[in-house]
Amino acid sequence: MTDWKSEISAATGRINGHIVKTPVVRVNGFGLPYGIEMKLEQLQHTGSFKARGAFNTLLSQPVPKAGLVAASGGNHGAAVAFAAHRLGHKAHIFVPEIAGPSKIRLIRGIGADLTVVPGEYVNALEQARAYEVESGAMQIHAYDAVPTVAGQGSLMQEWEAQGLEADTILIAVGGGGLIAGALAWLQGARKVVAVEPETSYALHAAMAAGRPVDVDVSGVAANALGARSVGRICYDLAAGQNTQTVLVSDDAITTAQYALWREKRQLVEPAGATALAALMSGAYQPEPGEKVAVLVCGGNIAPDPFVQD
Amino acid sequence: MTDWKSEISAATGRINGHIVKTPVVRVNGFGLPYGIEMKLEQLQHTGSFKARGAFNTLLSQPVPKAGLVAASGGNHGAAVAFAAHRLGHKAHIFVPEIAGPSKIRLIRGIGADLTVVPGEYVNALEQARAYEVESGAMQIHAYDAVPTVAGQGSLMQEWEAQGLEADTILIAVGGGGLIAGALAWLQGARKVVAVEPETSYALHAAMAAGRPVDVDVSGVAANALGARSVGRICYDLAAGQNTQTVLVSDDAITTAQYALWREKRQLVEPAGATALAALMSGAYQPEPGEKVAVLVCGGNIAPDPFVQD
């Protein structure tokens, strides 16, 4: 059994100074009759929470001379490239085509080797595994590894230290690394609601099947949330805590994304607006008096507002 | 003599619950060899600090049945319209053409009456004054009135309560309402640096002349910072404290604006990036060990990334 509280506390200490302690804010709006807390994790290095797991992995074990390899829809790859660059390691990132030009540019800009793989995330992962065997580079899994999950868990420890009041935290789920970190840290102390697109719902399907199963992935958030199956670590934690999952449509995600911009001047990628979409669409309806919080997890929108592709 | 500490403390109490307590963050980056504190005031209602002064004005005096009138490059008008709408008053906003479609849409969306005036801010102000006389509506000045300045001063009181550590705070200046509020609150306890575009530098010119004087205004931040002369309240406070002013080019502003997006996923209008531009361009160079903070004051960028004009 992993002692998650210890793993996450250690991760928090290890990555301190390497990551951004991202801001929190209490807001009204979005057509909701109650206020919500938000954590703006898109201010994290490389625009998503992924830098936490990447730094924790690199700082908790020896890194081979061949450096690092990662497969990623974009955000994890950017984070691994960034952490590797900061800590003086080589990195080779494999991304599927659906990562899109903005995220590909982000990774290239950091200076990592990059291979764009036809197909979806799982195809990039296959090539990354082949490269790992051949090169001796260390693979950093995007969501299903203890150091990754412990790193992502630092976010919830940090949020509590910042005065989080919510009874319930809504978190978008792809492969499940972020929510696994939250569940692992909270251990039931607060309710965590998993929010997935109707177009990619690996955790919802796993909870229904009683084990991780494959789902088809598509939709506006696919390059961030489009894992074909949820990680084992996430599944075990979610099943153990009987985590509630809710689904939101692509339209609901896009509506929330626009509302975040129009009302709060926060321009985020679809995945970053997915948790809010559950409140705005009514997919999750808090009880009277229930205090809710929304994690804004990523901001790497496409197209980039400053760059023509 | 205005007792500014009392005025601002009263404003803070008055507008509590009506405004957003905006988030703060400590970051590295922007090519700077030191970390900085930032306050993300673009999360304020209507995307800029102006809501503070508008609410304070409306809540500190009786409002006539004819409602409110304001002249504005856009942000102040949006804030007055928003505060009026929330508190159940009518509002008529006069904006110059240079406000641009994004800000005009923002004001229209709130539901205020709106007149778009050919020319620049001063032309809108003339029409607003004529309307004030004719209608009996209450004029809310964008920057040169005690309730406005006291409301903007609540920002600095709030930032200190959030644990501000900086020795020096960089603030963009247009008509001077925001920096006046900061100077009035701090009373010399921390250094405040006024940052103005080379294309509109009303405070810099006033400090050189020994009184507010007219300057030509143009450039990328003109609809937010393009006051032809600085307010008397701002001038008196800045002259009394011998406030340092620095100038930045439009290119430096645009570079900082892009860096805020690329590195921190904060998409802001040029005025919102003007204070940061002073650090990135070297127009202001902190002493070794000097702790600096940057106020990000507005996010109403044009074009709107979600709307085609």
DSSP string, B90-127: -EEEEEEGGGHHHHHHHHHHHT-EEEEESS-HHHHHHH
How many angstroms separate the CA of residue A208 from the nearest CA in chain B?
36
Q: Do A265 and B267 touch (CB under 8 A)?
A: yes
Q: Do domains B4-49+145-296 and B51-139 have the same CATH topology?
A: yes
Task: Please give the residue that has the higher pLDDT: either B69 or A307.
Answer: B69
CATH among 3.40.50.300, 3.40.630.40, 1.10.490.10, 3.40.50.1100 for B51-139 = 3.40.50.1100
Q: Roughly how many angstroms between the first and final C-alpha of chain A, as a whole number?
A: 47
A5 neighbors A187 (Cβ within 8 angstroms):
yes
Rounded CA gap, A61 and B101, in Å?
53
CB within 8 Å of A133: residues ≥ 6 apart? none
Q: Roughly how many angstroms between the first and final C-alpha of chain B, as a whole number?
A: 47
Q: Do A306 and B261 touch (CB under 8 A)?
A: yes
DSSP classification of residue A92: E
Helix (H) or strand (E) holding A15: helix A4-15
pLDDT surpasses 90 at A143 = yes
A261 chain-B contacts, CB cut-off 8 A? 305-306
Looking at the partner chain, which of B25, B299, B305 has a beta carbon nearest the beta carbon of A23?
B25
Rounded CA gap, A282 and B11, in Å?
36
Least confident of A45-59, A198-212, A295-309, B48-62: A295-309
Rounded CA gap, A178 and A158, in Å?
13
Looking at the partner chain, which of A24, A258, A305 has a beta carbon nearest the beta carbon of B261?
A305
* Backbone phi and psi for residue A288, each to the nearest 5 degrees, phi listed first: -55, 130
Q: Helix (H, G, I), strand (E, B), or coil: what is residue A275? A: helix
* Interface ipTM: 0.94
Q: Residue ranges per domain, chain B?
A: 4-49+145-296, 51-139
CATH among 3.30.1330.50, 3.40.50.150, 3.30.2350.10, 3.40.50.1100 for B4-49+145-296 = 3.40.50.1100
**Residue B285 neighbours by CB distance under 10 Å:** 11
Q: Do B265 and A261 touch (CB under 8 A)?
A: no
Mean pLDDT of residues grouped by 10 in chain B (309 residues)?
Answer: 96 98 98 98 98 98 96 94 97 93 91 92 92 96 96 98 98 97 98 97 97 94 91 98 98 98 97 98 98 97 85
Looking at the partner chain, which of A25, A27, A305 has a beta carbon nearest the beta carbon of B305?
A305
How many angstroms separate the CA of residue B212 from the nearest CA in chain A?
33
DSSP classification of residue B61: S
Instruction: Return the pLDDT at A122.
Output: 86
Crossing angle of helices B270-280 and B250-264, rounded to 10°: 100
Q: Tell me the residues of B at the A interface, defined by beta carbons under 8 Å apart.
A: 20-27, 40, 42-43, 47, 258, 261-262, 264-268, 299-301, 305-306
How many angstroms separate the CA of residue B237 from the nearest CA in chain A?
31
B300 neighbors B75 (Cβ within 8 angstroms):
yes
Record the tokens describing residue B226, joined without a space.
């393009």
Closest C-alpha among B283, B282, B295 to residue B33: B282
Closest C-alpha among A40, A114, A39 to residue A76: A114
Closest C-alpha among A98, A101, A93 to residue A118: A98
Instruction: Return the pLDDT at B308.
Output: 76
Q: Do A25 and B23 touch (CB under 8 A)?
A: yes
Instruction: Return the pLDDT at B120.
Output: 82
Residue A103's identity, in one-letter code, is K
DSSP B133-154: HHH-PEE--SSSSHHHHHHHHH
Chain A residue whose CA is closest to B259: A306
DSSP classification of residue B42: G
A44 neighbors A75 (Cβ within 8 angstroms):
no
Q: Tell me the residues of A at the B interface, defined by beta carbons under 8 Å apart.
A: 20-27, 40, 42-43, 47, 258, 261-262, 264-268, 299-301, 305-306
pLDDT digits (tens, 9 = 90+) for A87-111: 999 999 999 988 899 899 999 999 8
Instruction: Return the pLDDT at A185.
Output: 98
pLDDT digits (tens, 9 = 90+) for A103-135: 999 999 998 999 999 988 889 999 999 999 999
Chain A residue whose CA is closest to B103: A262
